[in-house]
Amino acid sequence: MAFSQEFNETQQLIKLAEERAENVQKKIFLINPIDENVRNILENLEIDAQDYKYTVSNFEMQHALNKHCKDTFPLVPKDFALVPTLIKNYDFVRYCGKTRSGLKTIKYTKRYELYIHCLLEIRNGKKELALKTMYKNKKAY
C-alpha cells in the first residue's frame, strides 16, 4: 500500500512541476512523517513539531525551476519526484537560517549522482514544512 501511495505522490509531483498555471496555487501534502532528527531541530527552534505536514506547491516548484534551470546541473520537473524519498532518506538535515521574508528554513540533502538539496520553510501558522527551493550540485553543503 505504501508503495502505491508513494508512486502516486511522485507522479503528482512531476505533473504539478510540469504545469505552468500561473494564477492558481496547487499544493500537495506529502505523507512523510517528521522524523526524530527534524523534530529535534524544530524543538531547538522552540517549535512544537506536532501536526506539521510537508507540502509542495506549484509556485515553489516554478520558482526552483526558473532559478535553477540554467545552473551547471539544471533542475528539471522530474527531479521533484525525489522529494518524498529525499525527506524520508536524507543524508544530511540541518537548520539553514531564515529566508528574506524571515521564515526559518531546514535543508535536506541526499546524494544520488549529485547532491540534491531541498530547502523547506517552516510555516508556523499553517503548520507546514513547505518546499521553498531545490537544486543540485557536487557539494554536500
Angstrom CA distances, 21 to 13, 15, 58, 82, 132, stand at: 14, 11, 8, 22, 18
Residues written for the chain: 141
Euclidean distance between CA atoms 117 and 105, whole angstroms = 12
- The three cell numbers of residue 71 are 545552473
Is 109 within 8 Å of 138 (Cβ atoms)? no
pLDDT in tens, 72-112: 899 988 899 899 999 999 999 999 999 999 999 999 999 99
Domain count, the chain: 1
Half-sphere exposure of 93 (CA within 13 A, CB side): 16
pTM: 0.85
pLDDT at 3 over 50: no
CA–chain centroid gap for 69, Å, is: 17
Parallel, antiparallel or unpaired: strands 128-137 and 27-29: unpaired
Residue 133, domain extent: 2-137
Higher pLDDT, 4 or 117: 117
* DSSP structure class, residue 33: P
pLDDT in tens, 36-69: 999 999 999 999 998 899 999 888 888 888 888 7
Q: Residue 51 class from Cβ within 10 Å (0-12 exposed, 13-18 middle, 19+ buried)?
A: exposed
pLDDT at 18 over 80: no
